Structure 1
Amino acid sequence: MGSIKAYLQLMRPANIVTAVSDILAGVAIALLFVPVSATVDWPALLALMVSTVGLYGGGVVFNDVFDADLDASERPERPLPSGRASMRGAVGLGAALFLVGMVAAWCVGLSAVLIAMAIVLMCLIYDRWAKHHSLTGPLAMGLCRGLNLLLGMSYSLMALDQVWFLAGVPVIYIAAVTTISRGEVHGGQRMPLLFSATLYAIVVGCVAAFGLYYHGGVWGAGMLLPFVCFVFPPLVKAMQTLKSGDIRKSVKHGVIGLIFLNAAWAAAAGMWPLAFATLLLFPLSSWMAKLFAVT
């Protein structure tokens, strides 16, 4: 059956923490459309967090399931090709995680469960087909993250109705990270990395504009500074060397950097408690990244 650690490796725990930060950011945005006098619906918030753990975990497990043959030649140390986890066990784990994600979303409401269903579908499309193509791969992975932000925003139906388009920003960001990741094994090319840097800059501009328009103001927009300092330097170095190791580091910072980006979303919405709560996920994700591979 394999070891527990091997199955945890399949789930990418450090990445799952970043998915939880998506929910906190989405809820922070949603709270803009909830009466000030209303109390926080903690059961709904917890259910959304559990849902994203299941949905994201299931998605990355099936990613390795579909990539087992390729990993056998390119990354034989991974749990499935190394035999530390079984194919049957991995499929069962992925299906169970998806089920947990769906049930938890159902506890929140119809909109949440429909978004959860869309996430499952998009994860499987990416894992099985889309990631093998230069255009559809980044787009499909980005849509998974955009839908995850929408899952957090499902905390308020009015937020979904009014600012659903904000989910396009994570699509742009993850498209950038996915483009960078194509050079993880054999090294990269400068133009795709430059393109990703441009997408990063667009994301920064979008969140800053949101913060200036809504309640976050200049201080909320300024919360982007930790994000910029975290994701740009590794990318610049990767553009200089084009080495697979530097590209892998840039991808790692891009994934974990989602925590800083989501903290910026929460601050831009003026929800500072949620912004600081999101930042607290960073040491947890960083610690997990030392124990389990991010990519």
Structure 2
Amino acid sequence: MGKRGLFAYLQLTRPANVITAIADIWAGFAVAGGIDYLITDLIYGNSNFWWNLLWLSLSTIGLYAGGVAFNDVADAELDAIERPERPIPSGRVSKSNATIMSTALLVFGVVCAAQVNWISAGLASIVALLAVLYDYWGKHQSILGPINMGLCRSGNLLLGVSVAPEVLEKIWIIGLIPLIYVAAITMISRGEVHGKNRRALYFGGLMYGFIFVAIFAMAYIQGPRYLHVLPFLALLAYMIVPPLGKAIQTQEPRFIGKSVKAAVISLIIVNASIASAFSGWPIGMVVLLLLPVSLWLAKKFAVT
């Protein structure tokens, strides 16, 4: 396979988006208190939690890449009309090869999660099933579709928390944050091809507002660390509010697309905010380091 062939397969996996999925795991790890264990492992020369972090990071790479690649498989006929430049309709990747790759990536994600514990394996399996369900059914449902996609992200964040099952049992409700945020993105994205979806844009904006309030409230409950999240929330507002405002004003597909792209990449900032709320701003900054990587990849590969 030449460089052009490899590039086409990578296009199917949306590399910039995959980085945002890794941020889910790292934030979930911080929520679970895994950072303290990582530091302890460094001090005493152990590597158990470092391996767990690696396995879960690899798991989400497989799950996300496989899920979005299956999306192109499911949309091959439609893309031939609306987006003929994509890998499958352009003929650079065959539909059968894309299906095999997508399936292998999802299986890889579940197997990697199983190296941590059975709860992680179960969550990974659910995320894989939800991703395929969205690709073939959920995206066509006006209400259940955004919820379906949001649940994929919720499962991904909770997959990071699952390194400590006892914490997951107590704080699973944190999964509502990515659910609502991604549901908002999914709703807004429906005007990406044809535009004219002002009601969805306004409603998506309200859902974003809920996310700001929820993250701040969650940080406030944790104690003095609520101040740690303010810079992250300010950066999040800077990233997503202006593009959304432009999309609402124009209702043009290209501006809606820019709004969606900004919101997807900003999932890293959402995760950095969550991590800082539970483990302090330095950990939030570590998660935020994934942002320039994702932005660089977004220049090379399509995000939506």
Shared fold, TM over 0.5: yes
CA distance in 1, matches of 2:80, 2:176: 35
Aligned counterpart in structure 2 of residue 29 of structure 1, from 4, 28, 31: 31
CA distance in 1, matches of 2:140, 2:76: 14
Could you say which residue in structure 2 is the equivalent of 1:182?
190
Aligned counterpart in structure 1 of residue 51 of structure 2, from 30, 40, 43: 43
Considering only aligned residues, what root-mean-square deviation do their CA atoms show, in Å?
A: 1.7
Q: Report the residue type matching 1:141 in the other structure.
A: M
Shift of residue 147, structure 1, vs aligned partner: 0.4
Residues 273 and 108 of structure 1: is their aligned pair in 2 closer, same or farther, counting only changes over 3 Å?
Answer: farther
Structure 1 stretches of at least 4 aligned residues deviating more than 3 Å after TM superposition: 32-40
Shift of residue 218, structure 1, vs aligned partner: 1.6
Residues 165 and 42 of structure 1: is their aligned pair in 2 closer, same or farther, counting only changes over 3 Å?
Answer: same
Shift of residue 270, structure 1, vs aligned partner: 2.7
Shift of residue 33, structure 1, vs aligned partner: 10
3-state SS of 1:3 partner: helix
Q: Is the 8 A contact 1:11 1:61 kept in 2?
A: yes
Could you say which residue in structure 1 is the equivalent of 2:45?
none
1:66 maps onto 2:74 in alignment: yes
CA distance in 1, matches of 2:39, 2:192: 49
Shift of residue 202, structure 1, vs aligned partner: 0.2
Could you say which residue in structure 2 is the equivalent of 1:195?
203
1:277 maps onto 2:280 in alignment: no
Aligned counterpart in structure 1 of residue 116 of structure 2, from 108, 116, 129: 108
Residues 96 and 32 of structure 1: is their aligned pair in 2 closer, same or farther, counting only changes over 3 Å?
Answer: closer
CA distance in 1, matches of 2:245, 2:39: 46
Shift of residue 276, structure 1, vs aligned partner: 1.4
Task: Map Cα deviations across residues 112-166 of structure 1 (whole Å, 9 max, x no partner).
Answer: 0000000011001100101011111111000000000000100111221110011
Could you say which residue in structure 2 is the equivalent of 1:99?
107
Aligned counterpart in structure 1 of residue 22 of structure 2, from 15, 20, 24: 20
CA distance in 2, matches of 1:145, 1:292: 21
Could you say which residue in structure 1 is the equivalent of 2:11?
9
Q: Is the 8 A contact 2:11 2:302 kept in 1?
A: yes
Could you say which residue in structure 1 is the equivalent of 2:90?
82
Could you say which residue in structure 1 is the equivalent of 2:244?
235
- Larger mean Cα displacement after TM superposition, 56-65 or 188-197: 188-197
Task: Map Cα deviations across residues 216-271 of structure 1 (whole Å, 9 max, x no partner).
Answer: 22223442111111111100110000000000000000100001111011111134
Could you say which residue in structure 1 is the equivalent of 2:141?
133
Shift of residue 89, structure 1, vs aligned partner: 1.1
Could you say which residue in structure 2 is the equivalent of 1:219?
228
Could you say which residue in structure 1 is the equivalent of 2:167?
159
Shift of residue 78, structure 1, vs aligned partner: 0.6
CA distance in 1, matches of 2:280, 2:62: 26
Q: Report the residue type matching 1:9 in the other structure.
A: Q
CA distance in 1, matches of 2:231, 2:116: 32
Could you say which residue in structure 2 is the equivalent of 1:267?
276
Q: Is the 8 A contact 2:28 2:158 kept in 1?
A: yes
Q: Is the 8 A contact 2:15 2:301 kept in 1?
A: yes
Shift of residue 169, structure 1, vs aligned partner: 1.0
Q: Report the residue type matching 1:114 in the other structure.
A: G
